[in-house]
């Protein structure tokens, strides 16, 4: 089977809104992060077994400014660039690896600049 897909619009959102005005998203919409440092989306991912996974974040950034985010997995963080994709309707992916625990995992993507995050469509886990 393919990756497990967790839509951003179904996650816990702090300082952001679900929208659907830019085409190309999956599910029923995407999260438009508020343009503030610290805005975040947090997914709850249940893992049958502990171990390494690939996380893929699908996003759009219609500006020319990078909107880096910190990705925290059970409290361990890495920062990734979410550079301009050319249009709000052009979606790209950023991937990283992480170790999941068996059971409940919290995966949080937090904006690190006052521009907020990019628009985020989904998290895929494989």
Contacts to ligand GCU by CB under 6 A: 22, 32, 35, 63, 88, 116, 119
Torsion of CA 86, 118, 33, 56, to 10 degrees: 130
- Count CB atoms within 10 A of the CB of residue 4: 13
Specify the 3-state DSSP secondary structure of 9.
helix
> Smaller CB distance to ligand GCU: residue 3 or 62?
62
Specify the 3-state DSSP secondary structure of 10.
helix
> Smaller CB distance to ligand GCU: residue 13 or 73?
13
Minimum Å gap between C-beta 120 and ligand GCU is 10
Minimum Å gap between C-beta 64 and ligand GCU is 11
Q: Are 93 and 56 in contact (CB under 8 A)?
A: yes
Which residue minimizes CB distance to ligand GCU? Answer: 32
Minimum Å gap between C-beta 63 and ligand GCU is 6
What is the rounded radius of gyration, in angstroms, for the C-alpha atoms of the chain?
13
Minimum Å gap between C-beta 84 and ligand GCU is 11
């Amino acid at each position: 089977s393919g990756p497990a897909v967790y839509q951003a619009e179904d996650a816990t959102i702090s300082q952001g809104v679900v929208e659907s005005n830019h085409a190309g998203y999956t599910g029923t919409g995407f999260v438009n992060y508020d343009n503030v440092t610290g805005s975040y989306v947090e997914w709850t991912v249940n893992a049958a077994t502990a171990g390494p996974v690939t996380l893929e974040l699908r996003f759009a950034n219609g500006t020319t400014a990078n909107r880096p985010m910190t990705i925290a997995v059970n409290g361990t963080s890495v920062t990734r660039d979410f550079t301009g994709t050319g249009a709000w309707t052009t979606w790209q992916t950023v991937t990283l690896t992480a170790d999941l625990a068996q059971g409940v995992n919290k995966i949080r993507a937090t904006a690190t600049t006052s521009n907020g995050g990019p628009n985020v469509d989904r998290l895929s886990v494989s």
